[in-house]
Amino acid sequence: MPALHQYDYLFAFGTIFCALDAFNIGANDVANSFATSVSSKSLTMKQACFAAAIMEFLGAVTVGARVADTIKNGIISVSIFRGDPGVQLLAFVCALVSSSVWLTVCTRLSWPVSTTYSIVSAVAGVGVAVGGGDAVNWGWNGGKGLATIFAGFGIAPAISAGFGAVVYLLVKYGVLARKNPIPYALFSGPLVFFTVSAVMTMSIVYKGAPSLGLNKLSESTTAAAIVGTAAVVSALSVLFWLPYVYAKVIRKDYTIRFYHFFLGPALWWRPAPEDAGLDTAPTHVPDYRIRKDEDGNEFKVPVVSDDGESGSEKTHGTPAATANHPSNLKELEKVDEHPIEGAWAEPKNLYIIFRYKAYPWIKKVLTHGTSIDIHAEQIGKEGTAHHRRMEEMHAAAKQYPNEVEHMYSFVQVLTACTASFAHGANDVSNAIGPYAAIYHIWSTGEFSTSKNPVPVWILVFGAVMIVIGLATYGYNIMKVLGNNLTLHSPSRGFSMELGAAITVILASNYGLPVSTTMCITGATMGVALCNGDFRAVNYRTLLWIFSGWVITVPVVGTIAGCLMGIILNAPHFTS
């Protein structure tokens, strides 16, 4: 059949709202995945955006679904469109419009929701509008019916909370709670890397690479691949990670930089500075603590100079007044170093306007999402009720030495990046699945069946919008997660991410309905309760998040159904 050029406007709308949907997947879904790493200070906001940009893009483009499940999870059937591809085209446009608009509202309200459930609900809504209530598969249907959505509200968080708690309890009593935890953390590191690598490899095999068919390999081949990958990563940790953290943590060598990691075994013979370990020496590891020490003393953090080198230290709190800058003096009025003299349209003034007025403002706007202080946003303004609640909640969780937490930060970055790769490969289809159907119908005039090839340019398009969404607006979701739910640290964050990954793997194998959003939230709650104090959890935020999951299904379904019904049955005329 010829292309449906009479519906070019629908294809244009589909393209616009696919971009918006993918943007919000990055701002909402990817952001809540990286909130754990940013909140624990294992990654800065800029580092998280950079890592996500690489891993999400590679996951989506290199091993993303070349065949998209365009009739999401078997919720509706092609037969309801009664032989008219144009109606199916309209249905998927309405689904994308509804899903993307709802995700935009939720992201603006800092409401973490499931992007998968959003698009599935939208497809179900248009199915009801076209074919009535019987057109939607409301049952379980082998894990592919609409009932799986409601089951997932309880299944995913509960299982993930259990795994997250088990992992953290092993770390807590095996390492953290010991009198001298540093040697235990150091020498158990290769085993931790082995375990994490095995789990992350399984997450890619069973969830993150559908186009490669890795989940169809024989059991022996799969086992060999998993164990082999984990063994290689563990061996590399012995060669590179062990000497690096030994020099940094045990010898307290504050001159070690990230690029020294690649020196590997040579670091065993690297001498530490003479003043290493003294109170006058710069801090040798980052400070991962969210609050002051238990004794109330201010804690020291390194001062980083403009060239990126660590220098002297300073303490958190109000800076002391100096002779040159008395605290009781008002700030001097800033002098415009580049004033506009004469007519603004003169070439010289146009250059000043662009270089010193417009460009700094544009740069600030574009980089706001990567430069915002997430920890300050999570804890709230000092003196407010929210800030007091956060302080009380954080006080219920014990903080462990920075040297030990530093070792777990490496593993947490590994889990975050691998999970991001799997997310890009799998969940990018939430936006491009319906869009691939739209493109196929529009370009061929034929129905889009349950499996249709997806052009690479669509995968690239979706991946780029996901990255932009995280980098520009992801902070609005991150600020209500992380330390807003419970106190975070690298050891806790690593346990949360690993627990969530294990849940996703098991669910993929047994056909259980889970959402990555729900998994990481459940794991966070499980780890938080391991503090032994129910006050270590922010139940207000937890209820806010859970309500978003529940409300998404009826709201998006109703919007999509009403939009489809109104357009499909609207009066029309022929000339």
Residues 218, 233: Cα–Cα separation, whole Å: 23
CB atoms within 10 A of CB 311: 11
Confidence band for 450, pLDDT divided at 50, 70 and 90: low
Which has more confidence, 419 or 140? 419
Local structure of residue 135 (DSSP, 8 states): G
Give the chain's end-to-end CA distance (angstroms, integer): 25
pLDDT at 215: 61
Residues 476, 81: Cα–Cα separation, whole Å: 39
Helices 189-203 and 490-510: crossing angle in degrees, nearest 10, is 40
Helix %, strand %, coil % of the chain (to 5): 70, 5, 30
* Buried-exposed string 150-166: b where 16+ CB fall within 10 A, e elsewhere: eebbebbbebbbbbbbb
Q: In the predicted model, is pLDDT for residue 368 greater than 90?
A: no
In three-state form (DSSP H/G/I as H, E/B as E, the rest C), the secondary structure along 475-494 is: HHHHCCCHHHCCCCCHHHHH
CB atoms within 10 A of CB 328: 5
Residues 527, 487: Cα–Cα separation, whole Å: 10
User: In the block, which residue shows the tokens 């998968």?
Assistant: 116
Q: In the predicted model, is pLDDT for residue 174 greater than 90?
A: yes
Using only C-alpha atoms, the chain has a radius of gyration, in whole angstroms, of: 26
In DSSP notation, 242-295 reads HHHHIIIIIS--TT--GGGGGGGGGGGGPPPPTTTTSTTSPPSS----SS--TT
Residue type, 211: S
The continuous run of DSSP H or E covering 302 comes out as: strand 300-304
C-alpha dist (Å) from residue 400 to 42, 341, 420, 443, 531: 15, 58, 27, 59, 12
Within 8 A by CB and 6+ apart from 243, the residues are 263, 264, 265, 266, 267, 268
Q: In the predicted model, is pLDDT for residue 105 greater than 90?
A: yes
Confidence band for 6, pLDDT divided at 50, 70 and 90: confident
Q: In the predicted model, is pLDDT for residue 511 greater than 70?
A: no
Average pLDDT in the 171-184 region? 92
pLDDT at 326: 44
Residues 381, 358: Cα–Cα separation, whole Å: 30
What the block records as the tokens of 317 is 């709190």
Q: What is the pTM of this model?
A: 0.82
> pLDDT tens for residues 246-263?
999 999 999 999 899 999
Average pLDDT in the 402-409 region? 92
Length of the chain: 575
Local structure of residue 333 (DSSP, 8 states): P
Please check whether residue 112 is in contact with residue 28, taking contact to mean a CB–CB distance below 8 angstroms.
yes
Greatest mean pLDDT among 2-11, 117-126, 551-560 lies in 551-560
User: In the block, which residue shows the tokens 């949907």?
Assistant: 21
Q: In the predicted model, is pLDDT for residue 329 greater than 70?
A: no
Q: In the predicted model, is pLDDT for residue 328 greater than 60?
A: no
Confidence band for 240, pLDDT divided at 50, 70 and 90: very high
Average pLDDT in the 158-167 region? 93
Q: In the predicted model, is pLDDT for residue 69 greater than 60?
A: no
Please check whether residue 46 is in contact with residue 371, taking contact to mean a CB–CB distance below 8 angstroms.
yes
C-alpha dist (Å) from residue 37 to 31, 92, 281, 452: 10, 35, 28, 36
